[in-house]
Structures are given as C-alpha cells and as structure tokens.
Amino acid sequence: MAQPDSVRYSGRFAPSPTGPLHLGSLYTALASFLDARSHGGRWLLRIDDLDTPRNVAGAAERIIDTLFGFGLQWDDDIDFQSQHLDEYAAAIERLRERGLIYRCICSRAKLADSPDRYPGYCRNQNPDPSQAHALRLACPNQDIRFIDRLQGPMRQNLAKQVGDFVVLRKDRIFAYQLAVIVDDCRQGVNHVVRGYDLLDSTPRQCYLYQLFGQAPPTYAHIPVIVDGKGQKLSKQSRAAAVSTHSGARTLYRLLCLLNQAPPPSLRNASIADLLDWGIRHWQPAQLSGVARISQPVAHDY
C-alpha cells in the first residue's frame, strides 16, 4: 500500500547539464529509480543547472531524452535550479541574519597548501565587501553523525576535517551544498540514492538541515563505477555518452553492475520487462560497504 503523501517515499535524480549521460550517471539514475519504485514511492527529476559556466547547450534536453528512452519515467514536472534563485538568496539571508556566514577573499593559490580543510583565514578578518568574495558558513567544533543505508554509521567533525565551507561562490553562484538542501526541502525529498563520491559532503548538508530546522533525508551512497585505471567514469574523464540504441542490453548490464544478478533469461528481454524485474527484485543491500565497482572496457553502450 502506498504511504500517505506526508510520509511517502520521495526520491530524485539531479544531473548537471554539463554534457550527456554516461554509463556511470545512468547507473546512478537506475539505482535511484529502482529504490523509489520498489518502495511504491515517487521519483523526481531535477536539472542542477546553477553552475552556468559549465553548462552545455542542449545537454539538459539530451539527458531528459536519454532517461525517457531507458524507461526511467519521472513523476511531476521537471524542476530546474535556475528557476529558484530567490529561494537560495533567502536561505543565505537567513544564515546571515543569525551571524553564521562571513566574507572570504582567499584565492585558490592561497588555499593550495590546505586543499582538504579551510584554515579559517578570513573568519575574523571582516574583509571589505567591495572586494570579490565568497560567503562561508562558520562550522562548530562538533561531530555530525548520520547512518547511511549502505555504508553504515558516519561521523565527521566539520571544523577539524573540512573547515568553514562556501555557500556562495565568488562568481555569485550559489554553492551546491546550500542549493541541494533548499531543493530537496522544496520538493519533499526524503530519500537520496547517489554515488559514493558524494558521501564526504553529506555531513555538510546534514549540518545545514540542522540549521534550517529540517530533518535530513535517508541517504544511500552506492559504489561508483571506475574504469580499468581505477578512475571514476565521469564527464571530466571523458566517459562516453550512453546510447539508447541497445537500451535493453545496457540495462541488463547495469543490473549486473548493481549486483542484482538478473537471470540469463533476461538478456534479450525488453526494457519494460527488465525494469519490472528490477523493481520487484531490488536488493540494495547487495551494494553494502562497497565504494567502487570496476567496469570492463566495452563500447556497446
């Protein structure tokens, strides 16, 4: 039985339109879709198009067409981050009113010696607002804890391990960490299935949820696909765009990569039949504790 709307599972897939979908991003989309549908929940599509310098013309349309071609049908209207700039600005203002953010004029060169943690150079300096600056969120010296469905209990001290992080970039683009919280709250997302590479940023998001008085979603970070060199499949590594030309074969292959062990009898099944089987037999625990899955070199997808 479907849950009431107030507690019904609500998941999402939120790609950035910086290029077409590759096998790794389709793999994540499929996992998110199967998890939502297996719970009788809704699955939303959001286009994370805030990072305008990296957006590629026509990429959003190609992503939408590819998902549709693989039968990954979303609920409700497609949401675009670029339509919600006022909401992000309002969230920044709430943090500002509470004295939780400050201006930072540090250059990348200055931060090169401490890439993993911001040392707090500008925290007590009050730089001139006429200078180009980012806005950082002051982080307390306390542990942020959450339990990931696949990776188990997680703990991170933001002050010691990350430092104060950016919520508004120098180029006046709202940072991912802030925008994703505003987006998921607006859309009522309560379950997030995404790649293991985003696990480290989750405590920052949990802290923002805490500041805004909202409960964070339940997280499940799935293994990322890596190539023969151990490099994550990504647009940056020039991963090939996925094609719907042999869609059913690609879906079967993705179910295997997700450790779902589809029976050989499904090798020649239709996309609809593969998705139906995947929903009915979805076992996310098969991915528990795994960070990476190797992808054999192939070009038939």
Flag whether 185 is marked binding: no
Flag whether 196 is marked binding: no
Flag whether 176 is marked binding: yes
Flag whether 12 is marked binding: yes
Return all residues near 281 (Cβ < 8 A) that are at least 6 apart. 260, 262
Flag whether 229 is marked binding: no
List the one residue out of 23, 44, 46 whose CA is nearest residue 35.
44
DSSP per residue, 91-106: HHHHHHHTT-EEEE--
Which of the 8 DSSP states describes residue 107?
A: -
List the one residue out of 68, 13, 44 whose CA is nearest residue 247.
68
Flag whether 38 is marked binding: no
Flag whether 48 is marked binding: yes
Sign of CA dihedral 274, 277, 282, 287: negative
* Residue found by looking up tokens 């009915």 in the block: 280
Q: For residues 249 and 246, give the distance between their C-alpha atoms in angstroms, rounded to a whole number.
A: 6
Instruction: Summarize the annotated binding site for ATP as residue ranges.
Output: 235
Instruction: Summarize the annotated binding site for Zn(2+) as residue ranges.
Output: 104, 106, 118, 122
Instruction: Summarize the annotated binding site as residue ranges.
Output: 12-16, 48, 104, 106, 118, 122, 176, 194, 235
Instruction: Summarize the annotated binding site for L-glutamate as residue ranges.
Output: 12-16, 48, 176, 194
